[in-house]
Chain A
C-alpha cells in the first residue's frame, strides 16, 4: 500500500498548478465576470493544450485526473470542465473535438425542482443526463429560459424547459461510470477550492490588524482556520481514495467511496467558503474580495452529481 502521490503525480499536479497560476490568475476572473461569465475560447483551447480534457487518452488515470481537477478547482476556472473531460473520455467518437478544446460540452442533469444548464451560450453540445441515459441536444434549439442574475457570476445558468428529445448517446454502465467519475472530479475541484479559500483567509488573517495586532494571533480566528483545514484534508483523503478505487487500485465498494468523497468535499467547500468570508470580516462580504467567489462556486459544485445530503442518503441505502 502506498497512498501518497508518486513523483510523477507530484510533477503532474505541480505542473498544472503553475500553468493555472500563469494562465488563470485569480485577477483574470474579473473580466470574465464583467462579460457575464462568457468563456474565452482561446483560454479553453489552452486548457486542452496542456491536456486537461484528454488525460485518459494520454494514459493518465482517474487519480491523476483528480489531482489535475483539484488544481482547476483551486484556480476557480469557470466552464463545463467535467462534462467536456467526460465527453472526451467516454464519447470520443460521437463528440469529436472535446479533447482538443474545439467542442465545449455541457451537461444538464434532470433534477427537481428545476433542471438547469450552465454556460449554455458557449456550448457546442449539451448533454441531458436522466436516470441511466445521456442524450445529446443542440444547445441552440433546446427550449430554455435565461437566468438574469446567476448566483455565481462566473457560472451563467439557463433553466431547461423541456428535457425530452435528443439522441441517446450513452446508457447503462457508461452512464453509471460517468456519474462516478463526474462526482469524484467535482469533489476534487471542491477540495481545491477549499484549500484556496483557506490560503486566502490565512493570508488575510496574518496581515489584517485590529486591537494592535494581526487578527491571526487570536485563537478564535486560528481555530476557525484550523477547522477549515481539517475539513479540507479529510475530504481530500476521501476524494483520492475514491479515485484510486475507480482506477481499480483498491478494494472498497465504488459507489460508497464516491458518495463519501462527494459528500465530504461538498461539506468542506461550503464550510471553507463560509468561514473564509467570516475571517475576512466586513471585507469578506464585499464584491471585490475573492472570499465570496469560493463560497459561490462551492454552492454551484455541490449541486453537481448529487449534493452532500443526497450522497448521505445513498450511503444510508448501502447500510
Chain B
C-alpha cells in the first residue's frame, strides 16, 4: 500500500496546475445562480476550454475522444480544479458523467458519432428523465408511458427532479414500453430531444431557493425509434450499466469543500465569542469540530482506497456505499455544528455582521439533500446489508 503519487501522476498534476494557472484568470466571474442563459454559457464555455486543452471527458476512453485517464489521475484532476477554484462540471454533469458514459457503452455507432463529440465540446447540455412522482427509491416502478407508433414512440406521463430541463438540449430518459411484464423488464432507454413538441417544463424550487430542478409533463411527445439506446424493454440494464462506471471519484469535489468548511468553522470558532470566551475554548464544541475534521481525513483515505480498488479491479466494491452513507451523515453533523456556532447569526442566508454565514448556512441546507439524492441512505443501507453482508431480502 502506497499513498504517494507516481512520477507519471505527479507530472499529470504539474501540467494540469500550470494549465489552470494559465487559463483561470481569463475565466469570467460565475454568473448569478438564477441567470440561466449566462450560467449555461459559463459552464459550457469552461467545458470547451477543457476540450481544447485535452482534459474533456477525463475518464472517457480515448477512442471516443476522452483522455482515458486512470482513476487516480481523475482524482488529481478533481483535486486540482477544486483547489484552484476552477468552474465545476455544472450543467455538463449528466452529459459527461451519466448519459455520455452510457452512450459509450451501449449506443449505436451513429448515436455515438452524433452525440459524444458535442457533449465533450460543451455544445450540448443533457438532463436526466428517470425519477417520477411515484417512482423515487423504487425507480423501476416508473410509469411514464411510451407507445410505439410506426417509427416513433409516443410518450405520455411525467418526470421529476430533472435538473436543467429548461436549458438542456437532450434528455436521457427511461420510459415504460411494456406494462404486462415484471417492472424491470418493460423499461426502455431513449434519447429525447428537448425541443420535441408536447412538453411542459415547470421549475421546482428547492428549499435552498434554487431552481435547477424541474418537473416535465409529456403529452403525446413523439421520439423516433432511432433514438432508442439498447433494445426495447432492455432499458433497466442500460441504465444500470451507468452505475458500473463509478470509480470512486463521485464525491471528491464535495469532500474537498467539506474539508475547507471544517477548517473555516475552526477559524470562525476562534473568533466568535460565547460566555465571555471564544467558542473554540468551549471544550464540547472544539472536540466536535476536531472529531469531524478527523472523520473527513478518514473519508479522504477511504476515497483513495476506493479509487485504488477501481484501478486494480475496474470496480468500487462496498466502499462506495460506505462512503456515501458516512459522508451523508457527517455532512448533517457538520451543518448542525455551523448552526450551533453561529447561533442567532444563522438566521441569515447572507453574510451578516461580518460573519461568513452565507456559506455555512447554505452548506447546512445542502447537507439535507445528500442522504436523499442518488439513493437515500435507507436504500443504501439495504444494499449494503443485502449485497455485502448477505442478509435476506424481505420480498
Which positions in A face B, CB cutoff 8 Å?
Answer: 1-6, 9, 63, 198, 202, 205-206, 213-214, 216-219, 221-223, 225-227, 229-230, 233-235, 237-238, 240-241, 243-245, 249-252, 256-257, 259-261, 263-264, 309, 311-313, 315-316, 319
Contacts and interface: CB of A to CB of B under 8 A. Distances in A.
Contacts of B338: none
Contacts of A311: 294
Nearest to A214: B392
Given A223-B378, A223-B381, A249-B1, A241 B392 contact: no
Interface in B327-385: 378, 380-382, 384-385
12 contacts: A3-B1, A202-B389, A202-B390, A213-B392, A222-B391, A225-B384, A234-B326, A240-B301, A249-B1, A249-B4, A256-B297, A264-B295
Contacts of A202: 389-391
Interface of B: 1-6, 9, 72, 263, 266, 286-287, 289-291, 293-295, 297-299, 301-302, 304-305, 307-309, 311-312, 318-319, 322, 325-326, 378, 380-382, 384-386, 388-394
Given A217-B392, A225-B389, A229-B322, A238 B381 contact: no
A269 B287 CA distance: 20
Contact of A244 (B2, B294, B311): B2
Given A1-B307, A213-B394, A259-B294, 16 more contacts: A206-B390, A214-B392, A218-B394, A219-B394, A225-B391, A226-B382, A229-B318, A229-B388, A234-B299, A235-B298, A237-B301, A243-B1, A261-B298, A263-B294, A309-B287, A312-B287
B260 to A, nearest CB: 13
Contact of B3 (A6, A252, A316): A252
B385 A206 contact: no
Nearest to A9: B1
Nearest to A6: B1
Nearest to A317: B290
A309 B286 CA distance: 11
Nearest to B395: A217
Contacts, number: 172
A257 B304 CA distance: 14
A260 B298 contact: yes
Contact of A260 (B297, B322, B380): B297
Contact of B392 (A206, A256, A264): A206
B290 A312 contact: yes
Contact of B298 (A1, A214, A227, A234): A234
B286 to A, nearest CB: 5
Nearest to B330: A234
Nearest to B329: A230
A4 B309 contact: yes
B287 A250 contact: no
Nearest to A4: B308
Given A240-B305, A315-B294, A251 B3 contact: yes
B291 A312 contact: yes
B298 A219 contact: no
B3 A225 contact: no
